[in-house]
Structure 1
């Protein structure tokens, strides 16, 4: 995980192909979602770490995912676990660069990528992992 801990918040540095706006669109497709709430250009999510519940505001600033802790600042290890959870949630470990190169050679995937750039991690899962 590529991240920085600033105490009262953390920043997660996703791969260059990551598109937070597209994730907001995907995650905001239903106003009946109970696992997170959309607040403007941010996501508010309650994350369980060990026995604690940590309320987070997840936004995107200057090519980084900024995670603010809304009620209290968790311990250093808990902040790291929140970062790891979000890293996994957005599947940021996945190397999609090779997929993008291959998809640009395929007529069907090429058009899909043009329309869905930023959903790349989801497209990767749908077409290559399942």
Structure 2
């Protein structure tokens, strides 16, 4: 049973890394597409920290929305997968135990991961000067 738990943790870790890379990629694309917008913001007086906070908050919002959408989907999927794996392995369904602490940990990991995934694109956008952004085609 311990090996099964370790395998599930490894799978969830890979899924979290892939999700973080996907968020980083989409935030990077968003920064590239909105380069002129950031230039206008800088021209009217926005500080680097304002742009940095703006992009990181967008990434955190996307991450939190993924949690809100995944939460109701995960329970029926977990029941189905637990039933199938339990019947194949142990000839009885595996029980589903939803831990409130597990949900809080999941939310915390998504929050921190979203900040980490958004940090690099946000840093790149905050370093842009008005001249660089207006010359961008």
The bucket for the TM-score relative to the shorter chain is under 0.3
Q: Bigger radius of gyration, 1 or 2?
A: 2
TM-score scaled by length of structure 2: 0.24
Structure (1 or 2) with the greater strand fraction: 1
Q: Which has the higher contact order (CA 8 A, sep 6+)?
A: 2
- TM-score if structure 1 supplies the norm length? 0.25
